[in-house]
């Protein structure tokens, strides 16, 4: 069964004034699909039973 995999990334920054929230994520970037035709297992070890 094909599976869609998409890559996203973000920047990480510290909350200097708030120790209850050590980091926050921002500036998310979408890097498109990694396998636009789907994912296909090629060996018997990678097959899901």
Cα(14)–Cα(39) distance, integer angstroms: 36
Cα(13)–Cα(34) distance, integer angstroms: 27
pTM: 0.46
pLDDT tens string 16-45: 888 788 888 899 999 887 777 766 667 666
Full DSSP string of 18-39: -TTS-EEEEEEEEEEES-TT--
Give the domain ranges of the chain.
6-38
Rounded to whole angstroms, what are the CA distances from 9 to 27, 32, 34, 38? 8, 11, 13, 21
> Which pLDDT does position 33 carry in this prediction?
79
> Which pLDDT does position 10 carry in this prediction?
94
> Which pLDDT does position 6 carry in this prediction?
82
Beta-bridge mates of residue 25: 12
């Amino acid at each position: 069964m094909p599976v869609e995999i998409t890559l996203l990334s973000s920047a990480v920054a510290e909350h200097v004034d708030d120790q209850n929230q050590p980091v926050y994520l921002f500036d998310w970037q979408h890097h498109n699909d990694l396998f636009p035709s789907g994912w296909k297992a090629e060996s018997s070890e990678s097959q899901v039973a």
